Amino acid sequence: MAACISSGAVQALADIALVLLTGATLVVLRRYTNLTGTIAAESVKQTTNSATQTENAQRPFLSLTLVEGRQGIVNGWKIENQGAGPALNIRYTIPAGQAQEWRTQISLAVGGLINYNPDVDVALQHGLTIEYASLSGATYRTVVTGTTTAPETTFQRTS
């Protein structure tokens, strides 16, 4: 005689199967959610790294340079863009007695020069400060101190 399974037992087995299937679905969804969060976090890191690499690839660097013997350029002290990108919104100090005054220039291309005519030894004693921005809007400061025979240059990112 065939074993008879009651409809209540079938219903109970169906309920247990439904609970197991729902549990398995929740486990899969939880893993998917965790992976989605990981992907989003890695995407943010890559975007930040990309922006940093772009900034480094186009960062200007202005420095005081003694130019001698370059064809077509008058010899003397110049502020030169030795970086990899143009410098914008440039401000630099010149000595004015015991104080300093600021001079401005709109921009300076890579390899570009600004004539620096003041007494350079006096300027370096006070500390020649050059402030400027990159294309991305990051701002920088170069400070040159010392003497014309032993100048010291420091470079800072200010924003």
Same domain for 26 and 102, yes or no, is no
Same domain for 35 and 69, yes or no, is no
For residue 26, the enclosing domain spans: 1-57
Q: Token match 């995407």: residue?
A: 43
CA torsion through residues 40, 45, 50, 52, sign: positive
Same domain for 83 and 145, yes or no, is yes
Domain end, chosen from 19, 40, 57, is at 57
Same domain for 52 and 65, yes or no, is no
Q: Which band of pLDDT confidence, cut at 50, 70 and 90, is reported for residue 1?
A: very low
Same domain for 53 and 64, yes or no, is no
| Angstrom distances, CA of residue 45 to CA of 41, 82, 112 | 6, 30, 35
Global pTM?
0.71
Same domain for 111 and 138, yes or no, is yes
What is d(CA 10, CA 52) in angstroms, rounded to the nearest whole number?
A: 63
Domain end, chosen from 57, 73, 88, is at 57
What is d(CA 79, CA 116) in angstroms, rounded to the nearest whole number?
A: 6
Tell me how far the alpha carbon of residue 62 is from its chain's centroid.
17
Same domain for 50 and 69, yes or no, is no
Residues 144-159 pLDDT 10s: 999 888 899 999 999 8
Domain end, chosen from 21, 42, 57, is at 57
Same domain for 42 and 66, yes or no, is no
DSSP, collapsed to helix, strand or coil, labels residue 68 as: coil
Residues 77-97 pLDDT 10s: 999 999 999 999 999 999 987
Same domain for 75 and 130, yes or no, is yes
Same domain for 72 and 28, yes or no, is no
Structural domains counted in the chain: 2
